[in-house]
Amino acid sequence: MNQIVMILALFYAISPMAGQKVHVDFDHACDFSRYQTYRWSGPPNAEFLNQLMQERVVGFVEEALAAKRLRRVETGNDLVVSLHMNVREQDIYTTFTDGWAWGGNVTSTTTAEPMLWGILTVDIVDSGRGKLVFQAVSTDPISSKPEKNTKRLAKAVNKIFEKYPPR
């Protein structure tokens, strides 16, 4: 029985880390088929990311936009794309129990471990109207290993642009 409790505790400890979440909002009246070009609004607003990681994220977004048949231009653009990265800390609680008993003494210990979460936001604005037409927010845990973060950011960008253009 102790093994089941330990497996469940491990599952609940890991489960918050497993799910990358992507939320999308868009202008439902917008005809996305008319957009063909974009430009960046400026450098990414991502103080947490070092220059190398910023360049990677921009590259992931540019690849995704190219796959959606959007061309990057410096002037005469249909869309303006911006990128924001924020970080927040959230405690993850884990409870361990030393046994399983009906009416007996059971000792449980709960620990809180801080975890950093990265929040990547991509905004796409119609440059002619100056109106936000698409926004996606991805939330994922941050690792101490750059290669893991690179993979997570690539996956986040791919998930975001699976939902562009909205149907």
Domains of the chain, start order? 2-162 (3.30.160)
Q: What is the dihedral of CA 56, 60, 65, 71, to 10 degrees?
A: 40
Q: Which two tokens stand for residue 15?
A: 């489960």
Q: Which two tokens stand for residue 20?
A: 């990358």
pTM as predicted: 0.76
Contacts with 118 (C-beta within 8 Å, 6 or more apart), sequence order: 48, 85, 86, 87, 139, 140, 141, 142, 149, 152, 153
> Do residues 163 and 25 lie in contact, with contact meaning Cβ atoms separated by under 8 Å?
no
SS3 for 124? Answer: strand
Contacts with 59 (C-beta within 8 Å, 6 or more apart), sequence order: none
* Residue-level pLDDT, tens digit, the chain, 167 residues: 444 434 434 444 444 445 678 999 999 999 999 999 999 998 888 777 888 989 999 999 999 999 999 999 999 999 999 999 988 888 788 888 877 667 667 788 888 888 888 899 999 999 999 999 999 999 999 888 999 999 999 999 999 999 999 87
For 57, other C-beta atoms within 10 Å of its C-beta total 22
